[in-house]
Structure 1
């Protein structure tokens, strides 16, 4: 019996300690000037609740229970303040570099970056200056991408859609957006080379937001392995390009990779190969995962709502009829797609591909009467406003007219963030979505094969069956 109690005692002490810690933490939450909320269980935090309920439900439940302005939680092993509503969005967007700095979870950095960069701050990792990023992704520069996007969309539909009576939109949109990114960022067109990059890259995007347990067979272990393969492939591409540029000074590459190899930082130093690889991986994740999700849900709603499809079809056919059969789209055509872009924005409101972004407090500050201590992580989220009845009446209804005139109130529609850290790829995404919409609706009437397909959540909303649709080619 004594032996039994000897074995039992450590467990009793552990449970008592956990209970005491939990009670103290709960009491601290209630008596401090920190935002109200719960940090969940010690070590575990509220990760399970977030995963089980999904981000939208998680945020709304805590806004209703604790505060519609800001609440605290514990996610990814970090004490975190979740800012809500347009005022919270505005505050975080406006105080970048003053009170906050960008932050990524350690698990995400391990999957994406070279090991020597994992412990660095994001500012150190993002060696490519954001001013340079804005230069190459602003509308003037992107105008040259439109014919390439159109040409690749035509070829993609010809090979992947036209031979079939039914297709799955989600996997095909990922295939198209990744091939396009390889072409525009690195001038890689060979399908086998694209596939060689795509396979490990899919492992990364599928597992980098999973539970960070690096055991064989887990999704996170796959992301770590995939990241190593992607980085190795990118280093080979970068070194080959450097050789080509050195051997032939007159050779002209107008893609992102060549510009990275030629740009210098503030001290006049060229970016090293690993820095360039880090930035290309970041761009591939941003341009591929989120944009493919956006394309998937835009087409999902077009297949689901015939009256919306009809209006988009009219607008796109007017553009198509004004051009020769082999004439590619241009900037002027994109500017005519006003209703189509309103449809896309309404899709981004209802099914936002990105859920928000993390920041880290670099000093103590106050918001809504609460103190956010230095070192706490913050999170702004689309889910505090996108379906809030206060800003979007009848929020579950698909209504593109919300974006007519002056559109939604400031800081309520935030699929691309805002302020100085607004996604620099916003215009790239707009062009890619509209060009693909044009090509699909002018060639096919699409009809959902599974009317009430279930949507799950991983890094982005994910249709369980990939949005299978019946294709009905238009009569010529």
Structure 2
């Protein structure tokens, strides 16, 4: 029960960190902003957020300004944080209506290599790009059934390599390696353990840099993230070349990367390699840290509830069981 209450307490905090940066308004429109403070010039309230406990940062402002909504400035972004169940319901009920996705400037700068190329081939429109990413059958939920066997095999292999025979095991490193191994297998069509090992630390650096102050100075988190992104792009360009060579031999390639290589927009234009690398890097990043963290917490809480663990082993229906 304690674990269940802890999860409920953390949900508002975690969702609060899904920063909702509203469109910048004119000075006349600022009077309608949520209560709160933007803090110091340029830095805003970033230092308080970084060097204090994030949950305390949020709860203090909920108490001071408003329990449902407040404004702040974090990592250089003017931000509105929506709190509580009613606020979250309002947010998710109005996606693509009152709210649209916004990437922080740090994220925009990390994922923009193809935009920097002045001599790059003509870009595929955003609508055509969305169609390319959504069209293959292996992206549909029902297609996951076909991958369960391979997923199970990779998971067992990872556990044998990193856990079997050890008195003490670390869940989070395994979860990260496993997540990236599965993503590389189904996104890139590769099982190369050495390549995956090289990528793990790079994705750790990118994950930290996605929500950081966008100062590209040696030693900063953002600098390290850009350096890691450049290394990953180089690795992915190598994978793309290998994939193209393999496809020329007629080998079947049922993975997302192969589909992105051969897909064209209505005018017959292919997606540039640099853009493919950025899109794949985005897919890998999105499915890396968050999934690994969720897996780790799942193992933690199930491990603390042996009765739940036994029901999982027995294949018992858990719907009626409180977690």
| Counterpart in the other structure of 1:50 | 49
Give the alignment of 1:30-179 within 5 angstroms: 32-114=31-113, 116=115, 128-129=129-130, 132-133=133-134, 136-179=138-181
Give the Cα separation in 1 of the matches to 2:138 and 2:93. Answer: 24
Give the Cα separation in 1 of the matches to 2:51 and 2:266. Answer: 45
| Counterpart in the other structure of 2:199 | 197
**Deviation readout 1:282-309 (Å, 9 max, x if unpaired):** 1111211111111111111223333332
Give the Cα separation in 2 of the matches to 1:85 and 1:111. Answer: 31
| Counterpart in the other structure of 1:217 | 219
Give the Cα separation in 1 of the matches to 2:138 and 2:317. Answer: 24
| Counterpart in the other structure of 2:322 | 401
CA drift at 1:90: 3.7
CA drift at 1:81: 1.9
CA drift at 1:70: 2.2
Give the Cα separation in 2 of the matches to 1:163 and 1:126. Answer: 51
Give the Cα separation in 2 of the matches to 1:100 and 1:127. Answer: 22
RMSD over aligned CA atoms reads: 3.0
| Counterpart in the other structure of 1:251 | 251
CA drift at 1:131: 7.9
SS at match of 2:253: coil
CA drift at 1:149: 0.5
Give the Cα separation in 2 of the matches to 1:276 and 1:227. Answer: 14
**Deviation readout 1:41-85 (Å, 9 max, x if unpaired):** 122211122223343332222222222332211222232222233
- 2:132·2:263 contact (CA, 8 Å) conserved in 1? no
User: Are residue 309 (structure 1) and residue 309 (structure 2) matched?
Assistant: yes
Higher relative contact order (CA 8 A, sep 6+): 1
Give the alignment of 1:227-306 within 5 angstroms: 227-245=229-247, 247-248=248-249, 250-265=250-265, 267-306=267-306
- 1:125·1:275 contact (CA, 8 Å) conserved in 2? no
| Counterpart in the other structure of 1:330 | none
Q: 1:96 to 1:113 in 2, by over 3 A?
A: same
SS at match of 1:192: helix
SS at match of 1:166: coil
Q: 1:296 to 1:57 in 2, by over 3 A?
A: same
CA drift at 1:125: 7.5
- 1:112·1:204 contact (CA, 8 Å) conserved in 2? no
**Deviation readout 1:78-130 (Å, 9 max, x if unpaired):** 32222233443344334444444321111123234416269xxxx97797316
CA drift at 1:258: 0.9
Give the Cα separation in 2 of the matches to 1:138 and 1:400. Answer: 29
TM-score, length basis structure 1: 0.55
Q: 1:163 to 1:231 in 2, by over 3 A?
A: same
SS at match of 2:33: coil
**Deviation readout 1:1-38 (Å, 9 max, x if unpaired):** xxxxxxxxxxxxxxxxxxxxxxxxxxx99x93321111
Give the Cα separation in 1 of the matches to 2:193 and 2:41. Answer: 49
Q: 1:262 to 1:76 in 2, by over 3 A?
A: same
Unaligned runs of 5+ in 2: 1-26, 118-123
Number of aligned positions between the proteins: 289
Larger Rg: 1
By percentage of residues, which structure has more helix? 2
SS at match of 2:287: helix
Give the Cα separation in 2 of the matches to 1:125 and 1:223. Answer: 26
By percentage of residues, which structure has more strand? 1
